[in-house]
Amino acid sequence: MSKYFNIIIEKDSDGFFIASVPELSGCHTQAKSLDQLIIRIKEAIELCLEVQSENFDYEHNEFVGVQRIAI
Cross-strand bridge partners of residue 18: 10, 30
Quote the pLDDT of residue 54: 58
| pTM metric for this prediction | 0.80
DSSP string for 6-53: --EEEE-TTS-EEEE-TTSTT-EEEESSHHHHHHHHHHHHHHHHHHS-
Residue-wise pLDDT tens for the chain (71 aa)?
788 899 999 999 999 999 999 888 899 999 999 999 999 999 999 999 888 765 566 667 788 888 888 99
* pLDDT confidence of residue 19: 97
Domains of the chain: 8-51 (3.30.160.250)
| 38 CB-contact burial (10 Å; exposed 0-12 / middle 13-18 / buried 19+) | middle
pLDDT of residue 59: 66
Residue 63 near residue 46, CB atoms below 8 Å: no
